[in-house]
C-alpha cells in the first residue's frame, strides 16, 4: 500500500502505518485523516506533534495509557483523559494518532 501526495509515493504497511518514519511530512497526516473522514484541527496537531516528540526522545510510540498520562502532565487534565483523546481520534489515540504521526503501532498496544 502507499499514499500518493503531489506525485510522491509514501509506502505504508498492511495496517496503514508509514514504513519509513523519516519520510513523514505533515501532508501525510492530512492525507491519512482525509481517508478516515477526519479534518485535522490544532487540537489534533497538538497530539500528533506530541507523539512525534515522544518518539524522538524515547524511540517508541507510547501506549494509550502512557500517552494519556503524559498529555495530562504537559497540557492539563482536561486534555489528559481518554474521553478527550478518543473524541479527537475515534479509532483510538494510540493507533490512529500514531499512524497520522508516521510512527509505528504503539508498543504495548494490544
Partner 1 sequence: MSEDIKNFLYLNRRAPYGTIYAWESLEVVLIGAAFDQKVSLAFVDDGVFQIVKGQDTSAIEMKNFSPTYSALGDYDVNQLYVEQESLEERGLSVDDLMHLTWEDEDEDWAEKDSIRVVSRAELNKIIEAQDVVFSF
48 vs 52: CA distance, rounded Å: 6
Residue selected from 40, 43, 69, 86 as contacting partner 1 according to rule CB under 8 A: 69
Estimate to the nearest angstrom the gap between the alpha carbon of 75 and the chain centroid: 17
| Site stretch for partner 1 (CB under 8 A), options 4-12, 22-30, 65-73, 84-92 | 65-73
98 is an active site residue: no
Counting contacts by CB under 8 A, is residue 77 touching partner 1? Answer: no
Q: How far is the CB of 98 from partner 1 (least distance, A)?
A: 14
**Do residues 72 and 80 touch, judged by C-beta distance below 8 A?**
yes
- Count of other CB atoms within 10 angstroms of residue 78: 9
How distant, in Å, are the alpha carbons of 4, 18, 41, 90, 110 from that of 67?
A: 29, 20, 19, 15, 15
Query: Which residue from 3, 44, 39 is spatially nearest to 24, judged by alpha carbons?
Result: 3
Q: Figure out which of the listed residues 60, 75, 79, 92 binds partner 1, where binding follows CB under 8 A.
A: 60
Q: Is 57 in the site for partner 1 (CB under 8 A)?
A: yes
Q: Could you tell me which stretch among 4-12, 30-38, 63-71, 81-89 binds partner 1 (CB under 8 A)?
A: 63-71
Between 90 and 108, name the residue whose CB sits nearer to partner 1. Answer: 108
Smallest gap from residue 62 Cβ to partner 1 (A): 7
Give the residue numbers annotated as catalytic, written as ranges.
Answer: 109
Amino acid at each position: 500500500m502507499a499514499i500518493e501526495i503531489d506525485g510522491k509515493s509514501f509506502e505504508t504497511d498492511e495496517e496503514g502505518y508509514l514504513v519509513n518514519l523519516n519520510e513523514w511530512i505533515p501532508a501525510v497526516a492530512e492525507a491519512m485523516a482525509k481517508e478516515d473522514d477526519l479534518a485535522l484541527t490544532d487540537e489534533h496537531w497538538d497530539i500528533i506533534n506530541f507523539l512525534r516528540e515522544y518518539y524522538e526522545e524515547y524511540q517508541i510510540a507510547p501506549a494509550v495509557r502512557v500517552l494519556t498520562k503524559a498529555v495530562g502532565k504537559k497540557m492539563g487534565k482536561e486534555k489528559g483523559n481518554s474521553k478527550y483523546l478518543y473524541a479527537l481520534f475515534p479509532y483510538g489515540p494510540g493507533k490512529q494518532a500514531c499512524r497520522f504521526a508516521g510512527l509505528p503501532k504503539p508498543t504495548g498496544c494490544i
